[in-house]
Amino acid sequence: MASSAAAKSPVTIRLCGPRGFCAGVDRAIQIVVLALKEFGAPVYVRHEIVHNRYVVEGLEAKGAIFVEELDEIPLEHRKQPVVFSAHGVPKSVPADADARNLFYLDATCPLVSKVHKQAMRHHRLGRHVVLIGHAGHPEVIGTMGQLPEGAVSLVETVEDADVYMPPDPDNLGFVTQTTLSVDDTAGVIKRLHERFPNLTAPAADSICYATTNRQEAVKQAAPGCDLFLIVGAPNSSNSKRLVEVALRAGAKKSVLVQRASEIDWEAIGDISTVGLSAGASAPEVIVNEIIEAFRERYDAAVELADTVEENENFLVNREIRHVELTAADMAFVNGE
């Protein structure tokens, strides 16, 4: 064992902070866990509660059932709670739940709800709303679904901004998806402002603090990294943006992985410095799993690359606030 350990190549792992769960994701998972404790299984969840398969499977093991639409909930379970995901839903979804006499708990991130309010304010003041975001993303569908059809136009790229033709160029307001790259979004907003000088910004920045903080930490850690690993799901917008940020900031290579088992150890090659961060819906238990996988193969030293400390905490729904949440309840994502 001693000779094997001596043969391991040294590697420094730059572990970014903040990383992983943001307050909105943490709250959404807690809502499902607390609903299961209070009401018993099953608790239904419309769409993935957050974009992470490990989290979804962990909640399924506790008794959550994930459905795409509310009509999938069987009649005999109509008294059981249904939870709406952290990404937010169109107004038609709670209206449908009310029509079906379903008891629902809305786990929409408060920062996504803030974007909904910003869009509604633009609309109320007579502005056409420009939403900067990715087509088909649940958050974009939810935001567009807050307003009447035709009241929101989606712009994804600078190229889209170049050709966008609004109904009234002098009466526009914009909002953005919360999980975008700060740098990419700035380019789109700049182009829209150049074309439409009267474009009105939202009252506060739409991109959430957690997205910005994780991107800044990756930017600072990336220079000199031979490899930068981002823990996250392929359908997680904020995780994919972190891969792009790492590459732009100087990492030689950046890869998105869901588990340690996805790392292609043969393709890694000769490395001395590895960056490691996690998207806002990726659990800390997988970050630890990846660090252990490196320690098995390398003489790995962990170097903390912290930028700011996050202490935000969003309260869960009033109906379940009295239920005790223990460390054991969340160990499946946070570790022991």
Domains of the chain: total: 3
Please report, as a single letter, which amino acid is at residue 144: M
The amino acid sitting at 72 is E
What are the DSSP calls for 258-324, one per residue? Answer: SSGGG--HHHH-S-SEEEEEE-TT--HHHHHHHHHHHHHHSEEEEEEEE-------PPPPGGGTTS-
pTM above 0.75, yes or no: yes
Assess if residue 97 is contained within a domain.
Answer: yes
Tell me, what CATH number does 79's domain have? 3.40.50.11270
pLDDT at res. 242: 96
254 annotated to a ligand binding site: no
Residue 308's pLDDT is: 94
CA distance 127 to 147: 12
Q: What is the mean pLDDT of residues 231-257?
A: 95
The answer to whether the Cα torsion of 286, 133, 178, 36 is positive or negative is negative
* Residue 4 pLDDT: 47
Q: How confident is the model at residue 31 (pLDDT cuts 50, 70, 90)?
A: very high
In a domain, 250, yes or no: yes
Q: Is 225 part of any known ligand binding site? A: no
**101 domain residue, yes or no:** yes
pLDDT at 34: 98
- Assess whether 301 and 319 both reside in one domain: no
pLDDT score, position 203: 82
C-alpha–C-alpha distance, residues 96 and 74, integer Å: 15
pLDDT for 28 equals 97
pLDDT of residue 299: 97
Task: Please give the pLDDT value at position 5.
Answer: 47
Same domain, 94 and 130: no
Question: How far is the CA of 132 from the CAs of 129, 210, 303, in angstroms?
Answer: 10, 18, 36
Residue 179 pLDDT more than 90?
Answer: no
- Are residues 301 and 320 located together in one domain of the fold? no
139 is catalytic: yes
What ranges make up the beta strands (E) of the chain? 10-17, 43-46, 64-67, 82-84, 104-106, 128-132, 152-155, 172-176, 227-231, 254-257, 273-278, 299-306
Same domain for 14 and 34, yes or no, is no
pLDDT confidence bin for 6, thresholds 50/70/90: low
> Residue 87, annotated ligand binder?
yes
Q: What is the mean pLDDT of residues 23-27?
A: 96
Domain match, 73 and 138 both: no
- CA 63 to centroid of chain Cα atoms: 23
Residues 215 and 245 in one domain: yes
Evaluate whether residue 176 is within a structural domain.
yes
Q: Which of 135, 163, 195 is the last residue of a domain?
A: 195
Domain residues for 231? Answer: 10-20+209-306
Strand partners, 309: none
From 38, 72, 139, 312, the catalytic residue: 139
Mean pLDDT along residues 4-8: 64
Burial of 28 (0-12, 13-18, 19+ CB in 10 A): buried
The answer to the question of whether 261 is labelled as a binding residue is no
Average pLDDT, the chain: 94
pLDDT at 3: 38
Token pair for 235: 């359908």
Determine the pLDDT at residue 1. Answer: 38
Q: Is residue 204 part of a domain?
A: no
pLDDT in tens, 141-156: 999 999 999 999 999 9
Q: Residues of the chain with pLDDT > 70: what percent?
A: 98
Chosen domain end from 164, 195, 226 = 195
CB 281 within 8 A of CB 239: yes
- Quick one: tokens of 226? 């031979």
**51 labelled binding-site residue:** yes
4 labelled binding-site residue? no
Quote the strand ranges of 43-201, DSSP E: 43-46, 64-67, 82-84, 104-106, 128-132, 152-155, 172-176
Cβ neighbours, 10 Å, residue 153: 17
Q: What tokens does 232 get?
A: 């996250």
Higher pLDDT, 54 or 4: 54
How far apart (Å, rounded) are the C-alpha atoms in residues 70 and 74? Answer: 9
Report the DSSP pairing between strands 104-106 and 43-46: unpaired
Number of C-alpha atoms within 13 angstroms, CB side, residue 109? Answer: 29
105/119 same-domain check = no
pLDDT per residue over 268-326, tens digit each?
989 999 999 999 999 999 999 999 999 999 999 999 999 999 999 999 999 999 999 99
Is 77 within 8 Å of 57 (Cβ atoms)? no
pLDDT reading at 164 higher than 60: yes
